[in-house]
Amino acid sequence: MGFRGHNYKGNIKITVVPRNLKKFSHYFRKILKKRGSIEALISHIKRNSRMDRNYLKGHEGNDANAILSGCGHNLRMLLAFLLFFLKNLLEIMMSSIRKTEPLGCNA
């Protein structure tokens, strides 16, 4: 279970979180699951946006880098949706063209 002791003498309460999640409320377990999915999303954004090093200067550069990587992620999601939509639209159009008779074949 790892380190559990401490030698702090003061008026601060130290809480050790148990590993068994069944003891927690449903809401708290839901928050923990959401946090895990958000951390995975952030790591994917950082890897896809090449955020291993920030080439912009200062705190404003850090903010701009985070905002631009979020915008890039949103644009990638929009592009994926548009490609999916256009692919399905093209399939519907092609299937409707195949169902109709070719012109000039009245035999």
pLDDT per position in the chain (107 positions), as tens? 455 566 667 777 766 666 666 677 777 777 777 777 777 777 777 777 777 777 778 888 878 888 888 888 889 889 999 999 999 999 988 888 877 766 665 55
Domain housing 54: 22-92
Residue at 2 is within a domain: no
Q: Two tokens at 89?
A: 């639209």
pLDDT value at residue 84: 95
Residue at 13 is within a domain: no
Residue at 107 is within a domain: no
pLDDT value at residue 87: 95
Residue at 26 is within a domain: yes
**Pair 46, 69: CB distance under 8 Å:** yes
Report CA torsion sign: 26, 30, 32, 36: positive
Q: Two tokens at 59?
A: 């705190």
Residue at 97 is within a domain: no
Tell me the backbone φ, ψ of residue 96, rounded to 5 degrees: -70, -30
| Count: domains in the chain | 1
pLDDT value at residue 95: 86
Residue at 57 is within a domain: yes
List of E strands, the chain: none
Is the full-model pTM beyond 0.75?
Answer: no
Residue at 28 is within a domain: yes
Distance from CA of residue 97 to its chain's centroid?
38
**Pair 4, 15: CB distance under 8 Å:** no
Q: Two tokens at 23?
A: 């003891």
Residue at 105 is within a domain: no
Distance between CA atoms of residues 49 and 36, nearest Å:
20
